Structures are given as C-alpha cells and as structure tokens.
Chains A and B, each alone.
Chain A
C-alpha cells in the first residue's frame, strides 16, 4: 500500500462534473429498438385463427376467442388470439411460429392502465395505442420454425406419361410420409373445409406415430372411399391449410393415399374390425357411385340390409367412368368397393330401374330409399351442327375408354369447357393420339379445373384457347369446320368478370372430333311420374334437407344429383349424412 492508493480514489470526483448518463424522459427521448419485443399486434386480414400461437405458448398465455365482426368461414376458424399479460413472458415464440405472419409486436416499452382486466386483450380487436406502430419484432425472413416446403412426390415425366394409361403419381415412402406429416400444425382448419369433415389432423398424427391401423380406422369413420379420395379428391382442405398462406400446404391427399397404400384389400377387414348386428330393416340404394356406396357402408354398419341397383357393369360411378385410369387406377377403386361389398351389401350391377326392375317394387319392399343417380346427361352447347356424328360429350369419351370400346377421334380434337371433366377429356384424347385444343369462354385463371390439372395438360402439349365462344359446326367431308369467336372480359364491380363476344372476330379451325365438356345433368326419368311430381328440384338438382331427405318422405338423395359441388368427397359426405338421416327417420 502506498500514498498513491490513498490519493488515487479521489479521482472519482472527476466524473461528478460530467454530463450524467441518465435520461430524464427515457420513454420519449429514447424509443425502443427497431427489433424490440414490445406489445402484441395482430393483422386480422391475415389471421385465420389457426391457434398455432396458442399451441406453442409455453405460458398458456394465449386463448383463442370469438370476436365480434369476424365470421367463421371456410379457411377461418373465426377465432382470434387473446393474450394474457399476466402470463406472457414476451418471448415472441408466437410471432415466430405464426404461419400467416399476422402476429407481430410493437416496440413500445410501457403501457399503464388502471383496470387489470385490460391486460387480457385481443390484439387487433381491442384498439391499443401501439396498433399503428411500424417498428417492433417480426419474424425474420431467413428464420423459420415451421416447415413451409412440401415433401415432393415422385411423378412420371411428361414423355413417360403422355401415351399409356398408367398411374402418373407415385406414392410416398414411409420416411417421406412421416416427414410430410411432421409439417402439420394440427390447427384443424382443414376439417371444417372438408365436405366429409374428415379428422385430418388425427390421421396425420397417426402417420407420424406410424400407426397405420389407427389411421385407417380414422379415415373410415367419415370416408369409405379413402383409397380413391387419396388420389382424386378435389382437396379443398389443402386450399385452406394454414401453411398455404406463406408456403406449400400439407399434402393431405397424398398422405391419405399413403395410409391406404399400406393396407392390402385382404387386411382391410382385420384392420377395421367392423361388427354388424342386423336390425332387419331394409334400405334400397339407386346408383353405386361414391354417394350410394357411402350411404350403404354407414347404413350397413348400423345394421340395415342394403340392396344397391346399378345400371353399369361395375360400381364407382363417376370415379370409374368419369375419371381416367392414369389418375385413379381401377384396382384402387375396386379395393374400396370390395370392402363395402364384403360387409354384406348386395350390389345388383347391370340393373336399370324400369328395364330390369320396377321402381314401385323397390319402393314398397324397402323401408327407405337413397337415390344417387349421378349426372350422366351432357349439357349441350346449343349451336348449329351439334347433332353432327363427330360431336361427342366428354363423359361419353371417358366412359368408352373405361369400357375398352374402340374410339376413333381423328387427328385433331376440340374440347369445350374448363372444368376437371374437360381436362380429363382433353388429356385422355391426347393419350389416344390426337392433337388437342381446349376452348374456354373465360381466362385460364378462371378455369374451375384444379391448377395441377391445367399445368399438367399444358405440359402434355394440350393447347389452350381461353376467352373463346363456339359459334357453329359445319360438316366438311369427314371433318368438321369449327367456327368460333373471341371474347373480351367485362368487369362489373363485385361481380365475376363476364365474357362478351367481340363482334367480327371469328375464326375457323378444321377438326375431326368436337368434345363437349361444359357440364352434366341428372337423369331422373326412372322415377314414376307420381313421385317425380312430388320431388322438388331446383336448377335440375334434387332438393334435400339437412338429413339428406327429399320432399318425398321415404326417399333420401345425395351425390352429384343433389349437390352443386360435383366432386366425390361431397357425394361421400352426402352418403354419410343421409345414412345418419335414414337411421333417424326409421327410428323416430
């Protein structure tokens, strides 16, 4: 110790003369950093109420609550996160996992209120002083905690697939399926969107846990056509997947297919363990399409004796006769139908009502009827020349291909329409060796067909002529002179753009076959007049109530004949709904 040690400490006085570091008004003089984790904000335009924030919050500080002015609809749970600042630790994990990016934070430091209840609030709904604050914590672009990229499934290349009718998309391997299933956030938005309300998060969870048996059981609770739906479902569930807002949705359809691919037809009974106790009541079903067979399946499980009448040689309806084999191989459809038949459902094929059997006999000998005849009559385009021999409908073409009939399309084909049926017809014609042109009255982006169908058709060299209207067909030797006009799109506020023919802009194309695929309608002529008169229809669709019951008490209906969805999964949902409805009706 020295004298220096006694004097040196007095140097602290030097700092007494300096400007202090303390800020008098820290909140205003020094705002929070750009990136500060302050108070929560929620952009209601983006939020879909998926609840991932609630799920990830380790303090259980987030609850999803209904909010006035936010409606539940397809793809939005109608709920919004409410945050409890008595529990929140401001870790911002909720911000980082938010799949839509709606949840962010402001950079405000302080908030004082005298009402403790205020500290539990719904960001976005309850107005706060920081709502317009631009700065604050947001998920960085190069940082993500959820997986936005889908596991790719193997597909045949364009060259390999364009001629043969073999399945185009190869299934997932076990590793791929589990990896894809791991991306799921289990929000359940998809369940509400699925017409059959399949328990999607649960069967995806079963895949993750590699419990295929459980997965099959979950599928069959709401859908006995899972092998087929796993291939051709319109998968509206994927459109609303919460991951789809900033990335690729879960491949729900392919995962469903994966489950059924793991179970052979022989193992189905072992896995599903269906026990049937017959209740001696009889239900007849007209039409062995997805709607009729689903109704048969669920009614059979309830103990009813089921007889199905089907006009075609085989079951499956439009799944067999309306969808080409490269999308849905027949053995997969047979797998679904065979299992339903194995439960003791009697299916009479090649049996047309009126020809082979009498409707009244069926009506009188059964306790209830379910009619799902499907849409087999093509809607005409209403132009001159439509009666020419080389004019066929898309459904006829697909039907003939399924029945292995000989088809002569010639070298050039025009397909009219923009839906999935038009795409199927066009791609089938392409596979039969013709040059194919698709004519559609609106723009390509307005086409009701699935995007992948359009893209794949383009890859296969199908030519598209959007904004066109067919005007006339003229016979020219063995060929047809197809005259068509160009459309312009007219926009009215709040309405879908409408195609309007541009006068004077007409073109001619020489073609061999003209395929109409603009829509189909039901043929209800098999019903006796007395019933037909009592059966209410609207826009040529059979009207049903919430139980699937028609205005004729004993008759229930479903599928394409009664709904406007025109897809298999809606028909399946109808079948299930009507099965429950019939059970209620017969046990009231």
Chain B
C-alpha cells in the first residue's frame, strides 16, 4: 500500500514514558476483526484511552489536549509482542508519522518501516531529555530529518543521529515498498525456486 513520502518532519510530540509498550496495548486483539485497513486510529491505545463505558480516561496522554503532534515518544522496548501490523496502522491512522524511543521491538519496527512510519531510535539519555523538554513545555518541537538521519530538540538545538538502512531510507523517502522491488526480480526468484529441494 502506497504511503506519503517521508523527508523532514517538524512537529510537537506526544510523550508516553512507559517501558515495554506491547502491541496489545497499542491495539487490543478484539479490534483486529476488519478485512480492510481503515479506522484503526480510533482504537489506538484503546484500553488506556477509554473506560469500559467508552468514556475517555482523563489522565491518558492522548486525551490531554495539551499534547499533540505527529511524533509519538515512547519508553524503552516499544512495540513488543504480537506481529500485528494493525499496531503500526493504528499509529499511522491516528496521525503519527514517527515514533521515537530508546529501543524498539523488532517486528513492530519492521512493520512501521513497511507502512511509512519512521521508527527513530535515540540514546536513553537523549530520550530522557526529550521527555523532560516536552513535559516542561508541551509546545516543544522535534525535527526528524530523514535525509540527514538526525533528530533535533528544537528548543535547545541538541541533536542525535539515528540509524536506518540505506535501502529503507530510500523507500521511505520515495514512498516505495518492497513489493515493487520484488516484482522486478521475479525472474531471479523463479530461477532460485527451481533449484530448491522443497
């Protein structure tokens, strides 16, 4: 599925300083019953965001109008657990284009990269600074620069580089996906398959 190209994102950010945020929190299993990819943002962090009677939980950050933006900042080991891509879809559909954390679970990170959400891994110390800056002033902006592979806390100018494979960087920058690539090497794949014992 095509997605918007990602280059430079300047935005305020939503802080979620909890560790090991698993994909069952990002989107509970009972909301995985769709056969199309739409509407998942409504159920992002469903059980942290809403009470059983569907009223919003006032103390959850997504219900606090002070915090907004296209960047979600999460604690260490963000996105652990299930492989459900619905978690990444929910993040995207809600309006986030980038998740910043000090550590990401593997499958979630991959899923994000495949759908146009940029996972940015920063050092634990820089993550703490980002949280502190946002809590001190929710209008604090971050700049995520994919071409330069930098994330900058605009209030202080502090900056860190982040890693991304050149292949994925190229995909995100141009809105390409892996299937485009794989369709172009179909001949190679068929030749390879003909040599396999299975």
Q: Do chains A and B interact in one complex?
A: no
Which residues of B come within 8 Å of A, CB atoms? none
Which residues of A come within 8 Å of B, CB atoms? none
